[in-house]
Amino acid sequence: AQSVTQLDSQVPVFEEAPVELRCNYSSSVSVYLFWYVQYPNQGLQLLLKYLSGSTLVESINGFEAEFNKSQTSFHLRKPSVHISDTAEYFCAFSGAGSYQLTFGKGTKLSVIP
Amino acid sequence: DAEITQSPRHKITETGRQVTLACHQTWNHNNMFWYRQDLGHGLRLIHYSYGVQDTNKGEVSDGYSVSRSNTEDLPLTLESAASSQTSVYFCASSESRGSVGVYNEQFFGPGTRLTVL
């Protein structure tokens, strides 16, 4: 069965410290990978995506994620977080041949001043 | 600018009532999806549609129905609301042109918070 596992449900981190949000997937077919962010009381917004090519992808606000096929992972990192990064982050994937997304259960990132 | 809207944003209803949540997108996307978001479960797919007159069941479809009469709208109906359907509901849409999978980015609405008493 295809699935996404986000290993941490909550991650507290001090402002300006680095953070890593972990995501592992299980699929028997090629996948496309996504990270979405949900700010309080809002819908989900795409943060970054891996479709093909370079395994390291970046967002406009300093996040990056690396696709690791051998470890079936797509961890999200930021070298220095801001208060404004406080949100819930969802990892998702789509198998080749499908328009559906399978979401992880989410990781709540809390940035502490 | 293209967008996806949901209405109402908040709804309180009673057990047994029929409720319809609206979703409208101006992206001209063929694909539309309904999810529910619950603490500890993330987002779970309720129903989805790949075009007009096409509807499909998702992971948690029991007690819900959808219909697609045009490209822009995919209303979600709770036939007889139950307390277990108290949740936040999100509608999303995506393109379907090109290779399947290449355009899988989904655009989300702001959500509807539904409370069933």
Lowest pLDDT segment from B30-34, B40-44, B64-68: B40-44
Distance CA B67, CA A66 (A): 39
User: How much is the average pLDDT of A36-59?
Assistant: 90
A-chain residues within 8 Å CB-CB of B48?
99-100
Whether residue B41 lies within 8 A of chain A, CB to CB, comes out as yes
Q: Which two tokens stand for residue B52?
A: 């007009």
Distance CA B85, CA B46 (A): 11
Whether residue B98 lies within 8 A of chain A, CB to CB, comes out as no
Distance CA A23, CA B36 (A): 21
pLDDT of A8 higher than 90: yes
Lowest pLDDT segment from A14-18, A30-34, B67-71: A30-34
Start-to-end Cα distance in chain B: 37
8 A C-beta contact, residue B108 and residue A92: no
Residue A2 pLDDT grade (very low, low, confident, very high; cuts 50, 70, 90):
confident
Of B37, B38, B112, the closest CA to residue B77 belongs to B112
8 A C-beta contact, residue A88 and residue A8: no
pLDDT value of residue B40: 83
Task: Find the CB nearest B90 among A43, A51, A99.
Answer: A43
Distance CA B117, CA B108 (A): 27
Cβ neighbours around B6 below 10 Å, total: 21
Distance CA A7, CA A5 (A): 6
Q: Which two tokens stand for residue A35?
A: 């990270």
Quote the strand ranges of chain B, DSSP E.
4-7, 10-13, 19-25, 31-38, 42-51, 54-57, 64-66, 76-78, 87-94, 107-108, 112-116
Hey, are the CB atoms on A98 and B101 less than 8 Å from each other? yes
Task: Find the CB nearest A46 among B48, B50, B105.
Answer: B105
Taking the CA of residue A14 and the nearest CA in chain B, the distance in Å comes to 24
- Three-state secondary structure string covering chain A: CCEEEECCCEEEEECCCCEEECEEEECCCCEEEEEEEECCCCCEEEEEEECCCCCEEECCCCCEEEEECCCCEEEEEECCCCHHHCEEEEEEEEECCCCCCEECCCEEEEEEC
Give me the residue label for tokens 């801001």: A82
Mean pLDDT over the full length of chain A: 91
Residue B103 pLDDT grade (very low, low, confident, very high; cuts 50, 70, 90):
low
